């Protein structure tokens, strides 16, 4: 227990011990203390008598009242949940291409077109985003053919490639002229869709980064991986469909589906653990690495372990872990080593020979640094890539000539599904999945396990309650340590190069709205999402504009506020929107950058507008956000001012174009400036006082110098 005015030390130890703060700054002491006691109760026995005295009983009303259950119900037990609902593989299924022969899309290709990427269609090549933005009205979609620098090799190439894509995406999102224009990123070798594919892990990392971008900005980007020139007609059908990612093999489109792996024994050709030789575990002193190490010794007869970590024997409870493993009968070496340092890792592995030869690898090292894509600096991208991607590639190159029986990497579902605020982490984990397929295609053992959320341990231990709640609210369950170890064995024994290990809550996924495209086989019957959203919200029973047209101004405000409060309550996990008051701060309610993106996405889907990712910070209360939402929805059809504002907007556009084409002479400029200044004054003060009216009259006849002098005096 941390006794102090705020939770200062607790976050530093979440991945190493059970810690709970008793007080939090700005929070009521009573509720914070009760929360701390409840948290402690889930981990140990408490004596509740000092708190729950007989005098603290509450009389219930005699009338019918609404109630909610707050106590934890007993778990059904691990054996009751079908194991097939916890281990999956991604498969690529052929889909029919519905080509619309009546429409010919106009394609923009970004970058130098050294070779034809499209077969047919109208193509215009642009050398940069500025040129694309200026021609936004001339093209229907922009194609970005991605290719890495052929001179670079992993791991340097994965850093170069993802940083380049990150920078382009940030500029794309920042340009206000591009929101309605879809971006199609065309890669080669990002996934293994057919047996003969040999994936490029660097391209896989680019896909991982883009998957997270899709969760932050739905409908802005589509992923396509092709093995040759792409027929324009097929690409048009992909863009018109609902799949956020598609593979083209010999011109045939394929989309991903998650398939449950059957419960079965180990396949004869699957990786396995040898009782002779040494097994290397990176991140071996962390909670997950330690749990796997114990399991390898106790259940698989591994007799020699080399555990690597940044702090080596100085890591938390490292000596206790070593003693425990030795008691189980294993030789244990704990070494401080940065697996991203190829030379240091090579020196360490060179000492393993003879009876201590290396026979197996478990790569469980990793780190987190969450942040929205728009604000993600390249340094934060590289810092997250290093332990996972660099470390895995170093292990791959330094051991590929050895007779390994198993090569296991700990990946994450974030790399498969994407997640808001985790584009760097998604890229790193997608690299691991791509590397596993790459190794298996070359006849080397490999298993990449994309873990969901563990009850405790590993990187997930550093997630706060809001992160965990958001994860489970999305329909993904939490894996206990014992179940995770069982899934570890099933994953390695399945013989599948890359698996997804997480429980799925099908009801929760369906109730969450659109079912992700990847889950539609295992979660049938839910509403389907769309890769490219219609700005008008096509398909809805009644568009927001139609609904608002039938409402009075006061009713429009109530509708917008109710929508914001309802969606905010859903994101925060409240049972009712009553918990979200109109004037309360989103920050005080518990929204952070990632839950803010989730709220923004829900409002976008409900209204068809495209709000900024930072909208909850720019408009920090439900009331302010509702007002902004109405502004973005624009004037309602039938409003007396609608036509006036439309004409005014068109007129201003015409004036702007004329000024750009032919700058006016001095006298004309002064006259135009005076008229515009007078109009601005009238818009700010519709019913001016006599003194203000005199000022308006004076401004109407003022010279340019007098106008600027007047403005300077008001600003000073």
Q: What distance in Å separates the CA atoms of residue 614 and residue 593, rounded to the nearest whole number?
A: 8
Task: Name which residue leads in pLDDT, 59 or 321.
Answer: 321
Q: Which of 106-115, 549-558, 694-703 has the lowest mean pLDDT?
A: 694-703
Phi–psi pair at 231, nearest 5 degrees? -65, 130
3-state secondary structure of 697: helix
Q: What distance in Å separates the CA atoms of residue 703 and residue 685, rounded to the nearest whole number?
A: 22
Q: What distance in Å separates the CA atoms of residue 134 and residue 127, rounded to the nearest whole number?
A: 12
Task: Name which residue leads in pLDDT, 33 or 336.
Answer: 336
Query: For residue 304, what are the β-bridge partners?
Result: 331
> How buried is 527 (Cβ within 10 angstroms: 0-12 exposed, 13-18 middle, 19+ buried)?
exposed
Q: Are 692 and 665 in contact (CB under 8 A)?
A: no
Residue 63 token pair = 């009338």
Q: What is the pLDDT of residues 250-303, one digit of tens each?
A: 989 999 999 999 888 788 889 999 999 999 999 999 999 999 999 999 999 999
Q: What is the pLDDT of residues 102-127, one digit of tens each?
A: 567 889 999 765 446 888 888 899 99
Predicted pLDDT of residue 672: 82
Q: Are 432 and 175 in contact (CB under 8 A)?
A: no
Q: Are 201 and 434 in contact (CB under 8 A)?
A: yes
Predicted pLDDT of residue 81: 39
Q: Is the pLDDT of residue 453 over 50?
A: yes
Our measurement of the distance from residue 412's CA atom to the centroid of its chain's CA atoms, rounded to an integer in Å, reads 12
Three state DSSP letters for 397-418: HHHCCCCCCEEEEEEEHHHHHC
Nearest-Å Rg of the Cα atoms of the chain is 30
Residue 560 token pair = 């917008």
Q: What distance in Å separates the CA atoms of residue 560 and residue 544, rounded to the nearest whole number?
A: 10
Q: What distance in Å separates the CA atoms of residue 169 and residue 183, rounded to the nearest whole number?
A: 10
For tokens 């698989």, name the residue: 300
Our measurement of the distance from residue 209's CA atom to the centroid of its chain's CA atoms, rounded to an integer in Å, reads 8
Task: Name which residue leads in pLDDT, 282 or 46.
Answer: 282
Q: Which of 85-94, 245-254, 505-514, 623-632 has the lowest mean pLDDT?
A: 505-514
> How buried is 589 (Cβ within 10 angstroms: 0-12 exposed, 13-18 middle, 19+ buried)?
buried
Q: What distance in Å separates the CA atoms of residue 106 and residue 122, rounded to the nearest whole number?
A: 5
Q: Is the pLDDT of residue 483 over 80?
A: yes
Q: Is the pLDDT of residue 80 over 70?
A: no
Task: Name which residue leads in pLDDT, 344 or 219.
Answer: 344
Q: What distance in Å separates the CA atoms of residue 361 and residue 83, rounded to the nearest whole number?
A: 25
Query: For residue 89, what are the β-bridge partners?
Result: 259
Taking Cα atoms as reference points, which of 614, 631, 619, 617 lies closest to residue 216? 614
Average pLDDT, rounded, for the chain: 83
Predicted pLDDT of residue 650: 67
* Residue 125, Ramachandran bin (φ over 0: left; ψ between -120 and 50: alpha; else beta): beta
Q: Are 207 and 187 in contact (CB under 8 A)?
A: yes
Alpha-helix runs per DSSP H in 267-358: 287-300, 318-327, 342-349
Q: Which of 57-61, 549-553, 689-693 has the lowest mean pLDDT?
A: 689-693
* Alpha carbon separation from 333 to 277, 403, 666 (Å, rounded): 13, 21, 83
Predicted pLDDT of residue 711: 55
The structure's pTM equals: 0.76
Taking Cα atoms as reference points, which of 624, 649, 622 lies closest to residue 634? 649
Taking Cα atoms as reference points, which of 47, 183, 72, 175 lies closest to residue 478? 72
Predicted pLDDT of residue 614: 86
Task: Using pLDDT thresholds of 50, 70 and 90, give the confidence band for residue 536.
Answer: very low
Taking Cα atoms as reference points, which of 578, 594, 596, 576 lies closest to residue 586? 596
Q: What distance in Å separates the CA atoms of residue 502 and residue 451, rounded to the nearest whole number?
A: 6
Query: For residue 408, what are the β-bridge partners?
Result: 362, 447
Taking Cα atoms as reference points, which of 714, 699, 703, 711 lies closest to residue 669? 703
Percent of the chain with pLDDT over 90: 52
Task: Name which residue leads in pLDDT, 93 or 509.
Answer: 93
Percent of the chain with pLDDT over 70: 77
Q: Which of 108-122, 443-457, 552-566, 698-712 has the lowest mean pLDDT?
A: 698-712
Task: Name which residue leads in pLDDT, 119 or 76.
Answer: 119
* Residue 59, Ramachandran bin (φ over 0: left; ψ between -120 and 50: alpha; else beta): beta
Rounded average pLDDT over 322-351: 97
Predicted pLDDT of residue 297: 97
Task: Say how many C-beta atoms besides its own lie within 10 A of residue 326's C-beta.
Answer: 13
The dihedral built from the CA positions of residue 315, 319, 325 and 331, taken in this order, carries a sign that is positive
* Alpha carbon separation from 188 to 164, 191, 225, 396 (Å, rounded): 17, 8, 5, 22
Residue 513 token pair = 């709205």
Predicted pLDDT of residue 496: 97
3-state secondary structure of 448: strand
Taking Cα atoms as reference points, which of 155, 154, 244 lies closest to residue 533? 244
For residues 240, 243, 248, 254, the Cα torsion angle rounded to the nearest 10 degrees is -120
Q: Is the pLDDT of residue 45 over 80?
A: no
Angle at 71 between CA 66 and CA 77, to 5 degrees: 130
Q: What distance in Å separates the CA atoms of residue 386 and residue 366, rounded to the nearest whole number?
A: 8
Taking Cα atoms as reference points, which of 604, 515, 543 lies closest to residue 242? 515
Q: Classify strands 87-94 and 252-260 as parallel, antiparallel or unpaired.
A: antiparallel
Task: Say how many C-beta atoms besides its own lie within 10 A of residue 400's C-beta.
Answer: 12
3-state secondary structure of 155: coil
Q: What distance in Å separates the CA atoms of residue 383 and residue 617, rounded to the nearest whole number?
A: 27
Q: Are 373 and 212 in contact (CB under 8 A)?
A: yes
DSSP 386: I
Task: Name which residue leads in pLDDT, 546 or 370.
Answer: 370
**Preceding amide of 155 cis, omega within 30:** yes
Q: Which of 84-88, 290-294, 360-364, 691-695 has the lowest mean pLDDT?
A: 691-695
Task: Name which residue leads in pLDDT, 538 or 127.
Answer: 127
Buried b (16+ CB within 10 A) or exposed e, 447-480: bbbbbbbbebbbbbbebeebbebbbbbbbbbbbe
Task: Using pLDDT thresholds of 50, 70 and 90, give the confidence band for residue 337.
Answer: very high
Q: What distance in Å separates the CA atoms of residue 360 and residue 445, rounded to the nearest whole number?
A: 10
Q: What is the pLDDT of residues 401-415, one digit of tens each?
A: 999 999 999 999 999
Q: What distance in Å separates the CA atoms of residue 597 and residue 571, rounded to the nearest whole number?
A: 10
3-state secondary structure of 366: coil
Q: What distance in Å separates the CA atoms of residue 512 and residue 571, rounded to the nearest whole number?
A: 10
């Amino acid at each position: 227990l941390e006794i102090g005015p705020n939770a200062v030390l607790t976050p530093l130890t979440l991945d190493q011990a059970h810690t709970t703060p008793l007080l939090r700054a700005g929070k009521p002491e009573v509720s914070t203390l009760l929360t701390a006691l409840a948290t402690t109760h889930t981990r140990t026995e408490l004596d509740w008598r000092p708190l729950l005295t007989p005098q603290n009983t509450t009389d219930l009303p005699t009338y019918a009242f609404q109630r909610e259950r707050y106590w934890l119900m007993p778990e059904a037990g691990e054996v009751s949940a079908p194991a097939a609902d916890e281990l999956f593989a991604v498969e690529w299924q052929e889909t029919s291409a519905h080509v619309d022969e009546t429409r010919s899309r106009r394609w923009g290709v970004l970058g130098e077109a050294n070779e034809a990427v499209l077969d047919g269609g109208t193509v215009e090549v642009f050398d940069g985003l500025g040129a694309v933005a200026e021609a936004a009205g001339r093209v229907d979609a922009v194609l970005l053919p991605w290719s890495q620098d052929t001179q670079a090799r992993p791991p340097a190439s994965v850093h170069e490639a993802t940083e380049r894509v990150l920078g382009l995406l940030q500029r794309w999102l920042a340009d206000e002229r591009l929101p309605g224009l879809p971006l199609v990123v065309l890669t080669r070798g990002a996934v293994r869709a057919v047996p003969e594919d040999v994936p490029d892990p660097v391209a896989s990392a680019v896909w991982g980064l883009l998957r997270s971008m899709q969760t932050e900005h739905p409908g802005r980007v589509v992923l396509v991986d092709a093995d040759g020139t792409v027929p324009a007609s097929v690409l048009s059908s992909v863009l018109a469909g609902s799949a956020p990612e598609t593979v083209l093999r010999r011109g045939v489109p394929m989309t991903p589906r998650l398939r449950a792996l059957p419960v079965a024994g180990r396949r004869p050709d699957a990786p396995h653990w040898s009782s002779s030789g040494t097994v290397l575990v990176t991140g071996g002193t962390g909670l997950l690495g330690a749990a796997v190490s114990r399991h390898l010794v106790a259940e698989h007869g591994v007799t020699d372990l080399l555990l690597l970590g940044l702090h080596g024997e100085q890591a938390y409870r490292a000596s206790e872990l070593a003693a425990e493993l030795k008691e189980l009968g294993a030789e244990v070496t704990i070494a401080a080593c940065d697996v991203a340092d190829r030379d240091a890792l090579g020196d360490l592995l060179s000492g393993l020979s003879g009876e201590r030869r290396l026979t197996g690898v478990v790569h469980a090292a990793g780190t987190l640094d969450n942040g929205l894509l728009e604000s993600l600096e390249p340094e934060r991208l590289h810092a997250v890539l290093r332990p996972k991607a660099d470390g895995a590639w170093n292990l791959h190159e330094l051991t590929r000539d050895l007779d390994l029986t198993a090569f296991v990497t700990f990946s994450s579902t974030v790399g498969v599904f994407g997640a808001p605020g985790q584009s760097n982490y998604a890229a790193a984990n997608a690299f691991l999945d791509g590397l596993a397929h790459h190794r298996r295609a070359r006849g080397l053992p490999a298993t990449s396990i994309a873990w969901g959320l563990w009850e405790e341990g590993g990187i997930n231990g550093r997630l706060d309650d809001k992160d965990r709640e958001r994860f489970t609210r999305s329909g993904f369950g939490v894996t206990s340590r014992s179940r995770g170890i069982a899934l570890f064995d099933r994953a390695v024994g399945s013989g599948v190069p890359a698996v997804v290990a997480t429980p799925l809550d099908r009801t929760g996924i369906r109730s969450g709205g659109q079912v992700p495209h990847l889950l539609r086989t295992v979660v049938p019957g839910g509403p389907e999402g769309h890769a490219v959203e219609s700005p008008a919200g096509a398909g809805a029973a009644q568009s927001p504009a139609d609904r608002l047209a039938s409402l009075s101004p006061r009713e429009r405000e109530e509708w917008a506020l109710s929508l914001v409060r309802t969606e905010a309550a859903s994101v925060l996990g409240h049972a009712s929107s009553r918990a979200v008051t109109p004037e309360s701060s989103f920050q005080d309610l518990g929204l952070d950058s990632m839950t803010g993106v989730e709220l923004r996405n829900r409002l976008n889907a409900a209204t068809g507008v495209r709000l900024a990712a930072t909208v909850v910070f720019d408009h920090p209360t439900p009331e302010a956000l509702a007002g902004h939402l109405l502004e973005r929805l624009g004037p309602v059809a039938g409003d007396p001012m609608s036509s006036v504002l439309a004409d005014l907007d068109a007129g201003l556009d015409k004036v702007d174009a004329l000024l750009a084409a032919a700058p006016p002479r001095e006298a004309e400029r002064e006259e135009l400036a005076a008229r515009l200044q007078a109009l601005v004054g009238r818009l700010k003060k519709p019913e001016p006082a006599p003194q203000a009216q005199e000022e308006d009259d004076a401004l109407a006849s003022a010279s340019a110098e007098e106008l600027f002098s007047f403005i300077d005096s008001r600003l000073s």
